[in-house]
Amino acid sequence: METSVQVAVRVRPKNSRETMLYENVITCENDSVKIIDSEKFIEKSFHKVFGPESSQEEVYNFIAPLVDSCDKGISSAILAYGQTGSGKTHTMFGQPQVYGIIPRIFSHLFQVISSDYTVLFSMIQVYTEQIYDMLQDSKLVSPLTIRQDPIFGIYIPNLTEYVVQSPEDGLSLILKGETNRVIRSTKLSSTSSRSHMICQITIESTRPNEKGNLSRSKMQLCDLAGSERIEKNQINNETMKEAININKALCTLGSVIYALKRKNMKYVPYRDSKLTYLLKESLEGNTRLYLIATLSPSSIQSSESISTLRFASAAKEISLNAKVNEISVADNKLIQRLQKEIKYLKDCMRVNKNTENLHQKLWELQQENDRLKEGMGDFDMGKILEENNKMKIQLKKIMEMTGNNFDFGEIDRDELDKFCDRFQSAQTNRNSTPLASSDLNSKQIEVRIRSKNNSVERRVTNFHRTFEQQEKDREMIDRISLNQKRLRKIEQIEQFRELRVKEAVEKYEQSKQLEMDVLKKTEAAKEKQFSEMNIKKLREIENARKVMEKAEMEKERALQDLMRIRQRKQDRSPLVSAATQQIFLPKIN
């Protein structure tokens, strides 16, 4: 069914600075938007217009039909386009309490699909014309490449795709990915996105339909980086490079949209930027495409708002013909691709030194931990502190007795010696009761406390290190178990598909055998018919030959009779001339 790109415009509320300094130049009426600013004027209508007071829910309802039909194998895409600071990220992601489109999609999606579907999620950002995995590469160190596959279309090798089993899984992945997005504070927004972000949700059926095919649809959810005026005094190289790349990609997107709008254009410059190449399948017409153009209401951005409206209006004229994506379970290429994927996952597991090793390591660490804990029994911090306190109290008593002030925190060896000497003499002078042997030598007490403290500290540090190591290993194991889950799922699908292929091959062979049997029978029947006909013909020939022989014999006999008659005639009239004989006698051949 032919449709056009569905376009909505969303005007955000003014922020406090704009309220103080700038006029409002935008008016929304039903589904049309008007910008009037001194000599500038534009009015355009769209499928939907959301004013500054519109809620996230209302905006979500506009794109909700895409999710309603996501299990039918029809791919879709949502693009948020607009000037920097106009509200794209707010619309696509939002914040807790006011979540935007992407988090809402997950809760809606799991109400629509049954357990016969697998949901995969990946998140990428295009930063300065390089593609990065947002769920893996927080430091932007491993740029990825784009490839094209006859079955799976455009894809990114080595991009991690996570299996999402609940809305919560989806939300936690989105939040994780968002923390890796390149953002910067600009004049218009303190958290301006400096990369184009694409979230991809793939919905695959695991149960073939009546035609034996599996449906597969992809949702591309794109929060673009906002265009920005590059100013002469923008001397920071990095921000300048970012802005140039953002504007270049948006410019290519504009060229693609205008080329598609003109319909008869032979060349559409998809490959001129990574962004448009990644969005190629969504833009070229086989998907359902929604565009949300965001606007700032204030006069300071009226020129940019006008160009956004022109872009959105051009997009509205692009016609689409969304197709159902189905893959035959018996498709060799699909099986090859899945086998490749399984091999890749298995390799990953091997790189991670395989799970068994990790389990072994974790077990060893746990054992070590237990041993340390047992050892800690002797050096129980509580006990030591208690002992420390007791000693301090005893020392204090001694100090009171000797009348000396002594700071226990930093014990100076000389000071302590002096103190002990004084204490000894005081003891002798006062002739008081001697203290218990354990209390006698303060140096020994201090050394003992210190050595115990040090030993405990060492053990506590070791314990922490071991604990941290265990945490890391546990994270690794979590990742591996996630990989295993995915692998299991893929293996299940593969087994299922193999089974179907086997069945299909068996059926094919059976029908071939049947055909051969029929052919053989037909040939045998034909041969029989042929030989019967031949026998009949031979018989006919034989009969004809017999008839001819008979005729020949009769002819021979007739000739002989004739000869005899001639002979008799000649005998009776010898005057008949040879010439006369020639005339009257019939010619015998």
Ligand X SMILES: Nc1ncnc2c1ncn2[C@@H]1O[C@H](COP(=O)(O)OP(=O)(O)OP(=O)(O)O)[C@@H](O)[C@H]1O
Give the nearest distance from C-beta 90 to ligand X in angstroms. 3
| Alpha-carbon distance values, 21 to 15, 82, 545 (Å) | 10, 21, 123
Cα–Cα dist 448/495, whole Å: 67
Do the strands 153-155 and 147-149 form a parallel or antiparallel pair, or are they unpaired?
antiparallel
581 is in an annotated binding site: no
Contact between 245 and Mg ion (CB under 5 A)?
A: no
Q: Give whichever of 185 and 428 is closer to ligand X, judged by the CB atom.
A: 185
Per CB under 5 A, the list member of 193, 205, 213, 294 interacting with Mg ion is 193
Give the contacts of 452 (CB within 8 A, at least 6 positions apart).
379, 384
**What are 3's two structure tokens?**
């449709």
Provide, rounded to whole angstroms, the least separation between the CB of residue 225 and ligand X: 5
Cα-based distances in Å from 386 to 383, 393, 449 = 5, 11, 11
**Closest CB 134 distance from Mg ion, rounded Å:** 14
Among residues 241 and 343, whose Cβ is nearest to ligand X? Answer: 241
Q: Which is nearer to ligand X, 282 or 294 (CB)?
A: 294
The CB-of-283 to ligand X minimum distance in angstroms stands at 20
86 assigned ligand-binding residue: yes
- Dmax (CA) for the chain in angstroms is 208
- Min CB(196)–Mg ion separation in Å: 10
Among 245, 216, 240, smallest CA distance to 230 is for 240
**104 versus 288: smaller Cβ distance to ligand X:** 104
Site map (CB under 5 A) of Mg ion, residues 74-93, x = contact: --------------xx----
**Is 73 or 87 the residue whose CB approaches ligand X more closely?**
87
Measure the CA–CA gap between 519 and 154, rounded to whole angstroms.
46
Degrees, nearest 5: CA angle 179-64-69: 110
Nearer to ligand X, 170 or 226 (CB): 226
Give the angle subtended at the CA of 550 by the CAs of 549 and 555, to the nearest 5°.
Answer: 95
Helix or strand run (H / E) with residue 1: none
Q: Which lies closer to ligand X via its Cβ, residue 52 or residue 269? A: 52
Binding residues for Mg ion restricted to 275-334, rule: CB under 5 A: none
How many CB atoms sit inside 10 A of residue 228's CB?
24
> Is 87 known as a binding-site position?
yes
86 binds, among ligand X, Mg ion, none (CB under 5 to 8 A by kind): ligand X
The one of Mg ion, ligand X, none whose footprint includes residue 87, by CB under 5 to 8 A per kind, is: ligand X
Is 94 annotated as belonging to a binding site?
no
> Is 85 a known ligand-binding residue?
yes
Enumerate the β-bridge partners of residue 321: 2
Burial profile 404-425: b = 16 or more Cβ within 10 angstroms, e = fewer: eebeeeebeeeebeebeeebee
- Asked whether residue 83 is marked as a ligand-binding residue, the answer is yes
- In the complex, the smallest distance separating the C-beta of residue 58 from ligand X, rounded to whole angstroms, is 10
Which of the listed partners (ligand X, Mg ion, none) does 13 bind, with a CB threshold of 5 to 8 Å by partner kind? ligand X
Nearer of residues 170 and 226 to Mg ion, judged by Cβ: 226
88 marked as part of a ligand binding site: yes
Q: Are 91 and 131 in contact (CB under 8 A)?
A: no
218 binds, among Mg ion, ligand X, none (CB under 5 to 8 A by kind): none
Partner that binds at residue 189, options ligand X, Mg ion, none, CB closer than 5 to 8 Å by kind? ligand X
| 195 counts as binding Mg ion under rule CB under 5 A | no
Interacting stretch for Mg ion, rule CB under 5 A, among 92-100, 188-196, 396-404, 562-570?
A: 188-196
Q: Using CB under 6 A as the criterion, which residues of the chain lie in contact with ligand X when the complex forms?
A: 12-13, 82, 84-90, 189, 191-193, 225-226, 294
SS3 call for 471: helix
C-alpha distances in angstroms, 186 versus 125, 127, 239, 251?
19, 17, 10, 21
Which residue has tokens 């049997």? 517
Question: Min. distance of Cβ 88 from Mg ion in angstroms?
Answer: 5
C-alpha triplet 355, 361, 367: angle, nearest 5°: 135
Q: Shortest Cβ contact with ligand X: which residue? A: 226
Is 82 annotated among the ligand-binding residues? yes
Q: Hey, what amino acid is at 416?
A: L
Enumerate the known binding-site residues for ATP: 82-89
Give residues in contact with Mg ion (CB under 5 A): 88-89, 193
